[in-house]
Amino acid sequence: MKKPYEIAALVKPSERQLLWQETEYYGLIHFGMPTIVNQEWSDGTVKPENFAPELFSASEWVKLFKDAGMKGLVLTVKHHDGFCLWNSRFTDYCVKNAINWEVENRDIVKLISDECEKQGLKFGIYITPLDRHETTYGTGDAYNTYFKSLLSELLTNYGDIFYVRFDGTVEPVKGGYEQQYDWEGYYELVRRLQPNAVIALCGPDIRWNGNEWGVCRKNEWSVIPARYSIYKAINNSKGQEKLSKKSATMELDLGSRKAIKKDEEFIWYPAEVCISIRDGWYYHKSDEYTAKTKDKLLKLYYNTVGSNYCFMLNVPPMKNGKFADMESQIIRAFGYDLNKMFAYTVSSIGEIKASSELSSEYSAENLFSSDKSKTWKPAQGDKEPVLTITLSEIDMFDKLVLMEHIRNGQHVEEFTVYADYGSGKWKKLEKCGIIGYKKIVKVRPVEVKAIKVVFNSFRPGLEMESVLMF
C-alpha cells in the first residue's frame, strides 16, 4: 500500500495550470465606479454618465504593464456595484451608456483584450457575482441566468482568455435572503467557451494564498489534500460558507509529509499571491504615499515567483484613465531591473555533471537546455543525488534558479547548495525546502569556481527541468 506522500507524488497539473504557472508575474487593474466615487465599493446607484475617463488609452495601459516585466493583464470587468466595462446586451448599466465619455468605442474590455493580443500579453478577467444594481440579485435562478449571460459575452467576444477570477462575496437582500451562486454552471461555461483558462480564487484551478499582504508560506506545495478543494466545498449543503473558509485558509503547512499523513486523495492546486501596489485596490489620492517601493516588489518577487507561487500585482488607474506617475515609474523601473537581473547566465561558461542519470535520455546536460521537454532524472538507487556545476573560470553569482519538471509532478522536499570558492573545498551556502515550478535561491554576491546541489529529501519520481546560475 502506497504511503500518502507517494500518492501525492503521482499528481500532475492540467495543461491550463501549466500555462498559467509559466505566466509567473502578471497585472491586475481595478477600474470602474468605485474609482469615480473614491471608494473601494460602490453601491450600484452611480449613473453611467458619471463615468468619463477622458485620458484612457488601451495601448498606454498595456505598454505600461509590459514594460513592468509582466506576461499578462487581468481586468476587473464587473465589481460589486454591477457596472460592466463592456458593451453588454443584457444590462444598460455598462460603458455603452457612459454618454459623457465622448469617444467612438467605449468597450474597455474589447480595447484592452485587443491591445494585449497586439503587444503579446495574455488577457484575463476578474468578475464578481455580487451585484448591487441588478434587480434580480437575490432571486435565485433568475440572477444566475443573468450572470451567466454576462459571463458568456465575455468568454465569447473577447478573444483568448487565460484566466478567470471569481469573487465569492455574498450580500443578503431584503428579507435576509442570500443569493446562491451557481458555481458549477459558471465553471461549465468557462470550461466550454475558454478551455485553456484557469479559474482562480473561487475556483478549482488556482488557490489564493489566503491574505492580501503578500505573506507567503516557507514551503508552498502545489499538491495538497483534496479536502482543500473549493470545487468539493461547493457541493455540500453549506457550500458558500465553506467556500469562503476554504479559499482563505492560512494554515502554515498544507503539503509536507507530516501535514498529509492521514490523507488519501490529493489534487494539484497551486497558489497565487495577489496584492495591490498601494493600500487600496482602487485609486484614492489619499493612498498616494502607500505605494510599494521597487525594493519591496523585488522581495515579493523572490517570495512568490521564486518560491512556487504566481504573483499578480494590482495597479489602479486614476479617475481620468491615467496611471499615477509614481506607480508608473516604480513598476517600469522594477521591470527594467528584472530583465537585467536574469540577462546573463553565469552557468553558460560551465559544465554540469550529476552523481547519476536514469539513462542517457535524462542527462544532466539537459538542465542547460531551453527545451523544456529535456530533463534530468537520477538513477533509481541514488538516495541523495548531486548536481555539480563547474565554471571554466572563477565568476560571481548571486542567484541560483532551479525548476522541477512539474508536468510530471512535484517531488523535491529539501536540498542544500554548496560552493567551492576556488580552493577545492565545499562550503554550505543555503539549505532550502521545496522547489516546485521555480525556486530562486538568493545569496550574497560571491565569486565561485563551482557549486553543487544535494537533494536531501524527495518523493519518488524526482525530475529536474533547469538549474542555472545568475
Same CATH fold assignment for domains 4-341 and 346-469: no
Residue 255: C-alpha distances to residues 5, 221, 252, 258, 342 (Å): 9, 5, 10, 8, 30
pLDDT band, very low/low/confident/very high, at 234 (cuts 50, 70, 90): low
User: Which residue is listed with cell 434580480?
Assistant: 136
The grid coordinates of residue 408 equal 510530471
More confident residue, 241 or 417: 417
Domain spans of the chain? 4-341, 346-469
Q: Parallel, antiparallel, or unpaired for β 271-276 and 309-314?
A: parallel
Q: Using an 8 Å Cβ cutoff, are 125 and 112 in contact? A: no
Instruction: Give the whole-angstrom CA distance, residue 130 versus residue 128.
Output: 5
User: Which residue is listed with cell 489566503?
Assistant: 210
pLDDT band, very low/low/confident/very high, at 164 (cuts 50, 70, 90): very high
The pLDDT, as a whole number, for residue 176 is: 84
Would you say the C-alpha torsion 209, 211, 213, 216 has a positive or negative sign? negative
3-class secondary-structure state, position 199: strand
The CATH number given to 4-341 is: 3.20.20.80
Q: Parallel, antiparallel, or unpaired for β 163-166 and 198-201?
A: parallel
Most distant CA pair in the chain: distance in Å?
77
The pLDDT, as a whole number, for residue 250 is: 74
The 10s digit of each residue's pLDDT in 373-413 is: 999 999 999 999 999 999 999 999 999 999 999 999 999 99
The pLDDT, as a whole number, for residue 347 is: 81
Q: Using an 8 Å Cβ cutoff, are 237 and 22 in contact? A: no
Residue 438 reports pLDDT greater than 60: yes
The pLDDT, as a whole number, for residue 404 is: 99
pLDDT band, very low/low/confident/very high, at 37 (cuts 50, 70, 90): very high
pLDDT band, very low/low/confident/very high, at 232 (cuts 50, 70, 90): low
The 10s digit of each residue's pLDDT in 408-429 is: 999 999 999 999 999 999 999 9
Residue 245 reports pLDDT greater than 80: no
The grid coordinates of residue 388 equal 555539480
pLDDT band, very low/low/confident/very high, at 237 (cuts 50, 70, 90): very low
More confident residue, 242 or 343: 343
Residue 137 reports pLDDT greater than 50: yes
pLDDT band, very low/low/confident/very high, at 233 (cuts 50, 70, 90): low
Give which of 145, 199, 198 is closest to 168, Cα–Cα: 199
Mean pLDDT calculated for residue range 151-156: 99
**Which contacts (CB < 8 Å, 24+ apart) does range 443-447 have?**
443/397, 443/398, 443/399, 443/400, 443/417, 444/398, 445/396, 445/397, 445/398, 446/396, 446/397, 446/398, 446/419, 446/421, 447/394, 447/395, 447/396, 447/421, 447/422
Mean pLDDT of the chain: 95
The pLDDT, as a whole number, for residue 134 is: 98
The 10s digit of each residue's pLDDT in 455-469 is: 999 999 999 999 999
Residue 246 reports pLDDT greater than 60: no
Residue 16 reports pLDDT greater than 90: yes
In degrees and rounded to multiples of 5, residue 441 shows phi and psi of -90, 110
The pLDDT, as a whole number, for residue 323 is: 98
- What pTM value is reported for the model? 0.95
Third-level CATH fold of 346-469:
Jelly Rolls (2.60.120)
The pLDDT, as a whole number, for residue 206 is: 97
The 10s digit of each residue's pLDDT in 324-339 is: 999 999 999 999 999 9
Residue 242 reports pLDDT greater than 90: no
The grid coordinates of residue 191 equal 470550461
Q: Using an 8 Å Cβ cutoff, are 154 and 95 in contact? A: no
Instruction: Give the whole-angstrom CA distance, residue 59 versus residue 79.
Output: 23
Lowest-confidence segment of 49-63, 201-215, 246-260, 376-390 by average pLDDT: 246-260
Q: Is residue 277 classed exposed, middle or buried when 0-12, 13-18 and 19+ CB atoms within 10 A define those classes? A: buried
3-class secondary-structure state, position 431: strand
Give, rounded to a whole angstrom, the gap between the first and last alpha carbons of the chain: 43
Instruction: Give the whole-angstrom CA distance, residue 271 versus residue 209.
Output: 6
The pLDDT, as a whole number, for residue 57 is: 98
Question: ∠85-201-315 over CA atoms, to 5°?
Answer: 50
The pLDDT, as a whole number, for residue 288 is: 87
Instruction: Give the whole-angstrom CA distance, residue 275 versus residue 295.
Output: 15
Residue 241 reports pLDDT greater than 70: no
The pLDDT, as a whole number, for residue 247 is: 57
% of the chain surpassing 70 pLDDT: 96
The pLDDT, as a whole number, for residue 243 is: 57
The 10s digit of each residue's pLDDT in 98-124 is: 999 999 999 999 999 999 999 999 999
